[in-house]
Structure 1
Amino acid sequence: MARAFNARVRHREFCPGDLVLRKVLHIAPDSRGKFVYKYDRSFVVREVFFGGAIILSDMDGTENALLVNADALKKYYP
């Protein structure tokens, strides 16, 4: 079973300077239901750590203090 699962897993690789979208992780009641946004605005990858931890910054260069896991990110191609 593990071999079949691992065959479908896609490896995600982020480099400093990549543009990414951060997934909205908090579930808030919204009147839009299934039409609510699933991703936040775009961010820039500042630093990548071993194990999938990533430090993001806004597009204007201000750095966020929180680490984000790579599972909650998606590459953004403008």
Structure 2
Amino acid sequence: MARAFNAKVHHREFKPEDLVLRKVLHVAPDSRGKFAYKYDKLFVIREVFSGGAIILTDMDGTENALLVNADTLRKYYP
């Protein structure tokens, strides 16, 4: 059973300078329920650490203070 599950898992590799979308993890008080956005704005990967930790920067170059888990990111293909 585990082998069948693992066959469907797609490994995602992130590199610096990749464009990604960050998943919204909090529920805002003015959220629209199931019509709320699933992902935040566009970010650029600055640095990738082992274990899945990633430092993101905004498109204008300002750096975020927190590390982000790779599970909360999705690659963006322009």
Aligned to 2:37: 37
> Are the aligned partners of 1:47 and 1:55 in contact in 2 as well (CA < 8 Å)?
yes
Shift of 1:3: 1.1
Aligned to 2:2: 2
Paired residues in the alignment total 78
Aligned to 1:24: 24
In structure 2, give the amino acid aligned to 1:19.
L
Q: Where does the alignment leave 5 or more consecutive residues of structure 2 unmatched?
A: none
Q: Where does the alignment leave 5 or more consecutive residues of structure 1 unmatched?
A: none
- Deviation digits for residues 28-53 of structure 1, max 9, x if unmatched? 34452211100000000000011111
SS in 1 for 2:12: coil
TM-score using structure 1 length:
0.92
- Deviation digits for residues 9-45 of structure 1, max 9, x if unmatched? 1100000000000000012344522111000000000
Shift of 1:5: 1.4
TM-score using structure 2 length:
0.92
